[in-house]
Chain A
Amino acid sequence: MPAVRGDGMRGLAVFISDIRNCKSKEAEIKRINKELANIRSKFKGDKTLDGYQKKKYVCKLLFIFLLGHDIDFGHMEAVNLLSSNKYSEKQIGYLFISVLVNTNSDLIKLIIQSIKNDLASRNPIHVNLALQCIANIGSKEMAEAFGNEIPKLLVSGDTMDVVKQSAALCLLRLLRTAPDVVPGGEWTSRIVHLLNDQHLGVVTAAASLIDALVKRNPDEYKGCVSLAVSRLSRIVTSSYTDLQDYTYYFVPAPWLSVKLLRLLQNYTPPAEDPGVRGRLNECLETILNKAQEPPKSKKVQHSNAKNAVLFEAISLIIHNDSELPLSVRACNQLGQFLSNRETNLRYLALESMCHLATSELSHEAVKKHQEVVILSMKMEKDVSVRQQAVDLLYAMCDKSNAEEIVQEMLNYLETADYSIREEMVLKVAILAEKYATDYTWYVDVILNLIRIAGDYVSEEVWYRVIQIVINRDDVQGYAAKTVFEALQAPACHENMVKVGGYILGEFGNLIAGDQRSSPAVQFQLLHSKYHLCSPMTRALLLSTYIKFVNLFPEMRSQIQDVFRQHSNLRSADAELQQRASEYLQLSIIASSDVLATVLEEMPAFPERESSILAVLKRKKPGRVPENEIRESKSPAPNANHHAEAPASITGAVNNTSADLLSLSTPPSSQPTSNTGVLLDVLGDIYNMPNKVATNGAQNTYNPKKFVCKNNGVLFENDLIQIGVKSEFRQNLGRVGLFYGNKTQYALHSFQPQLSWSEENQQKLAVQVKPVDPVLEAGAQIQQMINAECIDDYSDAPSTIISFIYNNVPQKITMKLPLTINKFFEPTEMNGESFFARWKNLGGANQQRSQKIFKAQQPMDLAQVRTKLQGFGMQLLDGIDPNPDNFVCAGIVHMRAQQVGCLLRLEPNKQAQMFRLTVRSSKESMSVEICDLLVDQF
């Protein structure tokens, strides 16, 4: 056992040794359980523990927790330690609660109080301990409790430097949970001026904070640009001895330099002040110059720190994108790194060049390195580096080098790592389409893709080639000929059969003149693959065959035989069976004119963004690989120009995937085609599983249920669970919605929006409290909704919840459980008065408030009872002569009036039918009540 430092706890060391000596997992668990029992009894025991003992036990619990076991006690003891007057005990207390925060406990108030005391301490070590704890927990409560205090601490002249450093970063942490924690106004300039602080540690911490603040409000913090440039200028021109302790392996203040360079990337190059701009360019030049100097040390730390600054400077040059000489120098520098022996540098150089390639200024310069990059793709030992090379090739590709790059990527694909194949296939497909001047080349590339990496060719890719062939008549003959040849390979991928089947079905006639590809040969070739294919492909081939009947009438009887085969006509697969029988009938009954109309060539697809691009973008959210050359920026103040991108991406995904679904039923639902007859019969069941899958497996949303209950889970899918709790009194109601994020990522731009017209607001006034725009991973937030019933109304308000998950916008529309029956007050009544009123209210217009309907589930009167009770009216027993019938009475409360309402539900067990009658003095109300209850049973 090594020596335990300082105030070491012997008991703890012994315990840790014991654990280490455990021979098996079971032994370890046993030892831990023993210890837990021991600690529990100590904590519960009569003897008061002294501070040291508490500290020791809390520390043991912490150790057990860090081993991966759950700890459910000890929090109170840890909180006690916070106010200990021994620093070591206090520190352990803080460590425990930082690691095992228990957010919902009552302890949080005690914790906050202790932190407050320490923050107010004159001892900076205590203040820092408190600040670090706030930063470690970083919760909303912390932001609320200390949001005022910390900014003061940060800018006050009395605060010591070490405290300022912690305060700056603590504030940064709180900013992430509570964006409005930092005050604006005069605070802004005081915070910005921290960049001028004497103490480099303070400047470094402040630079991180300012970077985050700038991202929120670039205009307000604009003043930081010139300060940052001056500071940077002073650092890069200093020698490594000037900055003493802030020099790291001969590199002056690398952390601060990087932070300043990053901060400047929030702005476009400072245009209005040429002096600042000039100075910044000088800094960047100096950094580039230094890269050429011989290293001051052989240590990797020296080169890492130096190159870290260099890469950040290059990022800024790429971001500014306004000085050609700088961009070219940056590119050359990166080019040198491409053949550096450090893998890390090659990796970063490829990544950085990828950004450079998308700039108009430097695109050409990047292209000079094409050969080296191709070599990297082929030769690098590390797959993550190869991946970067592929990304770069994709980014540097344009009309002039497309054929070569695509060819190299295709060659490499044969041996590429499985992990990157799918993405490469997408990239090749996109490049081939984008830069094709000759579409025969495009068709060749895609068929090669299927041949080389058929398993990785997603639907989108082969859908796309079909769309393009259909839209371009100059390539149709070539496509037919090429797929025909490709299909002759003894083993060809099923995706090839799909593409081949589809294209021959449309354009097989274009090559039928050649004896070698006569209709009969085409048909036999396709049909030889038929039995090896999945039902979906078979269904597609059946469509091809019926198209053949139209294209080549001489093939009719042979094809009818195929339709008639048992394996088709009586297939266990419903879709195959349906297609076989319908196509068979069509081929028998329809005249050749009808056939020609129904089976006409597919009309052109509307032009749109390649669906493949959308898939690629979706695969890499946050790191969208670009093959789009930006125009050089004119210097104008703006920031965060990337912010809007994700929305448009998914927009494209949604509409294209919807369109593409129709493709799997070839002669189908193009709105412009006149095949409408077939539309219904060919309803495409293959798409069903897809649709279900995208909606998530365990969707819950049944608003009807909430007519008869007030609490429960209103909506649930893979991402989110929305629970509801509501209470109503008289004409007022309060609904609490609980949004729970089920995912591992925060949901951003979270916004529930009420959908309830102005007109309806006059009848049911609904007021919705705003919620935070960020719903953290695994977190739950609550939203209160107040409602007042003013007049009678029908239906119920909805809420539309939009948010961004993983860069993909999501939208959920959900009915709120605010139907009019919620404002019922149950009314007791005896039989006599009930029937008296019943008759009274039985006016002429009863038709609309009486419904007869079939039971939705086997009739269960006990369940009906429960539901009626939940509905809000008083269930009156013993009134109706038929004991099976239900009668209810209630009063709906509205602001200015109350409407009495009676109801009678008569089950007919034999017919499994219900008759429901509602009577009230307001006809519209009776109708609504009746509608709400229909189909509930």
Chain B
Amino acid sequence: MQFMLLFSRQGKLRLQKWYVAHPDKLKKKITRELITTILARKPKMSSFLEWKDVKVVYKRYASLYFCCAIEQNDNELLTLEIIHRYVELLDKYFGSSIRLLAQKHCILVCELDIIFNFEKAYFILDELLVGGEIQETSKKNVLKAIAAQDLLQEVSYGDVPIEL
């Protein structure tokens, strides 16, 4: 995967994760163009598009678009499920498992969670994907890793191994 973007229906970027080195200027350009392209697509269209030299896979969850740029050989359908797994993890972590996965009126809450706890959203993503490849597909294991981190949060520690 080359990068992942989360943006709102209004085109506001909520999270960006780059697995390839691009200068900032280029990142901004790609982001801008891709957001416009995707927002212009209609709901019944396929979740895949050829865009420049990458394949783009995207899916909308409530007010948020999750969008991944993948390599020519990567599996599109499974990329959709990487997105889904990430959504599940966010939902589970930020509390009730409604929100992104549920009806429209609850939705804003989750986008807000991501805005106000953006650093957490990044930490969770880092447990799911490293270097653009899936690191851990088990939901339980990812949540365990995040919980272990949270446990460490305010504890000033000696160098003691923590059982995972």
Tell me the A residues contacting B by CB distance below 8 Å. Answer: 1-2, 4-8, 13, 16, 20, 59, 62-63, 66, 68, 70, 85-88, 91-92, 95, 99, 121-125, 128, 131-132, 135-136, 138-139, 160, 162, 165-166, 169-170, 172-173, 177, 200-201, 204-205, 208, 245-246, 248, 253-256, 258, 262, 301, 304-305, 307-308, 311-312, 343-344, 346-348, 381-382, 384-385, 387, 621-623, 744-745, 776-779, 806
Please give the distance in Å from A575's CB to the nearest CB on chain B: 37
Contact status B126-A777, CB under 8 Å: no
Q: List 23 A-B contacts (CB under 8 A).
A: A2-B116, A6-B154, A62-B118, A88-B153, A121-B159, A123-B161, A124-B161, A125-B148, A162-B145, A166-B130, A169-B131, A172-B133, A201-B135, A208-B134, A246-B138, A248-B85, A254-B81, A255-B78, A255-B137, A308-B77, A308-B81, A343-B44, A744-B22
Which parts of B1-49 form the interface with A (CB within 8 Å)? 13, 15-16, 19, 21-24, 26, 28, 42, 44-49
Q: Which residues of B contact A (CB under 8 A)?
A: 13, 15-16, 19, 21-24, 26, 28, 42, 44-50, 53, 72-73, 75-78, 80-81, 84-85, 94, 109, 112-113, 115-120, 122-123, 126, 130-141, 145, 148-150, 152-157, 159-162, 164
A627–B47 CA distance with the chains assembled, in angstroms: 27
Q: Tell me if B130 and A169 are in contact (CB < 8 A).
A: yes
Which residue in B21, B77, B155 is a CB contact (below 8 Å) of A139?
B21
A87, A128, A208, A622: the one within 8 Å of B157 (CB): A87
Known contacts: A87-B157, A343-B46. The answer to whether A165 contacts B136 by CB under 8 A is yes
Is chain B's interface secondary structure helix, strand, loop, or mixed overall?
Answer: mixed
Contact A95 B119 (CB under 8 A): yes
Does B84 contact A301, Cβ atoms closer than 8 Å? yes
Contacts of A381 in B (CB 8 A): 42, 44-45
Contact (A88, B116) CB under 8 Å given A384-B46, A384-B49: no
Chain B residues in 8 Å Cβ range of A778: 21-23, 26
> Is A384's CB under 8 angstroms from B45's CB?
yes
- In the bound assembly, the distance between CA atoms of A63 and B123 in angstroms comes to 14
B53 touches A745 (CB 8 A): yes
Q: Count chain B CB atoms within 10 A of each CB in A59, A63, A162 and give the residue with the most.
A: A162
Known: A59-B119, A122-B161, A125-B152. A308 touches B131 (CB 8 A): no
Taking CB atoms, residues of chain B closer than 8 Å to A169 are: 130-131, 133, 135
- Are B45 and A253 touching (Cβ within 8 A)? no
Give the Cβ gap from A392 to chain B, nearest Cβ, in Å. Answer: 14
Residues on B with C-beta less than 8 A from A139 are: 21
Closest 5 CB pairs of A and B: A173-B131, A308-B77, A245-B138, A169-B130, A87-B152
> What's the Cα separation between A871 and B156 when bound, in Å?
66
For the complex, what is the distance from the CA of A169 to the CA of B131, rounded to whole Å? 6
Give the contacting residue for B141; candidates A99, A245, A344, A384; CB below 8 A.
A245
- Provided the pairs A131-B130, A132-B126, A778-B26 are in contact, do residues A205 and B116 lie with their beta carbons within 8 angstroms? no
Enumerate chain B residues within 8 angstroms of A308, measured Cβ to Cβ. 75-78, 81
A245–B136 alpha-carbon span in the complex (Å): 10
Residues of A within 8 A of B137 (CB): 200-201, 204, 246, 248, 253, 255-256
B46 touches A347 (CB 8 A): yes
* Chain A residues within an 8 Å CB radius of B28: 68
Q: Are B112 and A2 in contact (CB under 8 A)?
A: yes
A779 close to B21 (CB less than 8 A): yes
* Also in contact, A623 and B72, with CB within 8 A (given A5-B120, A166-B135, A245-B141): yes
Bound-state CA distance A175–B79 (Å) is 22
- Contact assessment for A744 and B26 in the assembled complex, using a CB-CB cutoff below 8 Å: yes
A171: nearest chain-B partner, CB-CB: B131
CA of A346 to CA of B77 in the docked complex: distance in angstroms? 12
Instruction: Tell me how far the C-beta of A639 lies from the nearest C-beta in chain B, rounded to whole angstroms.
Output: 13
- Please give 16 more A-B residue pairs, beta carbons under 8 A apart, in addition to A95-B119, A169-B130: A4-B116, A6-B150, A63-B118, A99-B122, A121-B159, A123-B160, A125-B148, A132-B126, A139-B21, A160-B164, A170-B130, A173-B131, A201-B136, A204-B137, A304-B78, A382-B42
With both beta carbons as reference points, the residue of chain B lying nearest to A777 in the complex is identified as B22
**In the complex, which residues of chain B have a beta carbon less than 8 angstroms from the beta carbon of A623?**
50, 72
CB of A824, distance to nearest CB on chain B (Å): 40
Complex CA–CA separation, A7 to B85 (angstroms): 25
Chain B residues lying within 8 Å of A348, measured Cβ to Cβ, are: 48, 76-77
Chain A residues near B140 (CB, 8 Å)?
Answer: 245
A88 touches B47 (CB 8 A): no
Q: Which among A59, A136, A311 has the greatest number of chain B C-beta atoms within 10 A?
A: A136
CB distance from B151 to the nearest CB of A (A): 9
Provide the residues of chain A in CB contact with B162, threshold 8 Å.
123-125
Contact A20 B115 (CB under 8 A): yes
* Most chain A Cβ neighbours within 10 Å, of B49, B130, B131, B160: B131
Does B153 lie within 8 Å of A7, measured CB to CB?
yes
Contact in complex: A344, B76 (CB < 8 Å): yes
The answer for the CA separation of A154 and B4 in the assembled complex, in Å, is 26
Q: Indicate if the CB atoms of A124 and B133 lie closer than 8 Å.
A: no
Minimum distance in angstroms from B89 CB to a CB of chain A = 13
Known A-B contacts A4-B117, A160-B164; A85 and B157 likewise in contact (beta carbons under 8 Å): yes
**Given A95-B123, A384-B48, also A777-B135 (CB < 8 A):** no
Cβ distance A633 to chain B, nearest Cβ, rounded Å: 18
Measured between alpha carbons, how far is A469 from B41 in the docked complex, in Å?
44
Determine if A258 and B75 form an interchain contact, defined as CB atoms under 8 angstroms apart: yes
When distances are taken between beta carbons in the complex, the residues of chain A under 8 Å from B78 are 254-255, 258, 304-305, 308
Measured between beta carbons, the chain A residues less than 8 angstroms from B159 are 121-123
In the complex, A306 Cα to B131 Cα: how many Å? 25
